[in-house]
Amino acid sequence: MTARPPLRAWLSPGLLALHALGLVAVVFCVVMGLWQAGAYDDRQHDEQADKRSVPQVQLTELWDPDGPFMKTYNHRPVTFEGQFAPASDQIWVTGKEQDGKDGAWLLAPVQVEGGETMLVLRGWAPETGAFPEVPTGRVQIDAVLEPGEKISGSFDPADRTIGAVRIPSLINELPYDLYSGYAISTVEDLSGGLDLVPPPQPSDVSWTVGLRNLAYAMQWWVFGLFAAFMWWRMCTETLADRNEKVI
């Protein structure tokens, strides 16, 4: 059985350089890993801020009327001026729950000043029925942009109801050039007595945002473990060779 080298053997001048090299390598890898982990956290925080601290902008400055609904428009607060289409052009969107109750949304076409027609969600009602009157003249609307819903929903022209905010379907039913998304109004005076629909909150940021930085952090820490292993192996092999020469 080989005897364990005494402590003073590990502190011999020939091994001090290996100790210093190993320490520097391990510390460097740990620091670099922490730096990359910090960059990952910064990316997460920045993404959270981008989603939750978006300033309100003019709709016509953000969105080209002929352009598609971009990912950056989702949940975006906007303001615009426009004029409501006749009340008879409004549409009920059925199957919408609010505060635990079934009901319907009321969509109203609004001709945007300097743009196309935006479908504005005025509010929620527990049941469909006669349309409330629309505001007259040019009005200021504060709203939150949302993409059209992907679920299917057929339009009933008799009751003017549809099962989802399907923009492609509504384009065929309304005599207007529609934006490819809709806006949830946050203005109580425009609701027609209906309950305002709270805009959905931005979803939590995915852990994959900044994943490359996280992967680099793990890689540096693996390098650090490998450096520590190589330091231990080189030291033990050096001491083993010395013992063999002494014997």
Note the pLDDT tens digit of each residue in 85-108. Answer: 999 999 999 999 999 999 999 999
Beta pairing class for 101-112 and 117-125? antiparallel
Please report, for residues 121, 133, 150, 214, the alpha-carbon distance to residue 190 in angstroms, rounded to integers and kept in the order given.
10, 10, 27, 47
- The string of pLDDT tens digits covering residues 57-75 is 999 999 988 889 988 888 8
pLDDT (tens digit per residue) in 147-202: 999 887 788 988 999 999 999 899 989 999 999 999 999 999 999 999 999 988 76
Q: The tokens 């299917």 sit on which residue?
A: 152
How many other CB atoms sit within 10 Å of the CB of residue 230? 14
**What's the pLDDT at 1?**
46
The mean pLDDT of the chain is 87
Assigned token pair, 57: 């902008």
Strand boundaries in 56-116, DSSP class E: 57-58, 77-84, 91-98, 101-112
Q: Which two tokens stand for residue 49?
A: 């801020």
**pTM, to two decimals:** 0.63
Count Cβ atoms below 10 Å from residue 148 Cβ, excluding itself.
Answer: 20
Query: Are 161 and 104 a contacting pair, CB within 8 Å?
Result: yes
pLDDT at 219: 94
How far apart (Å, rounded) are the C-alpha atoms in residues 89 and 138? Answer: 17
Q: How far is CA 213 from the centre of its chain?
A: 18
Distance CA(83)–CA(110), nearest Å, equals 5
Cα gap 87→197, rounded to integer Å: 19
Q: Is residue 227 packed enough to be buried (19+ CB in 10 Å), middle (13-18) or exposed (0-12)?
A: buried
With H, G, I as helix, E, B as strand and everything else as coil, classify residue 195: strand
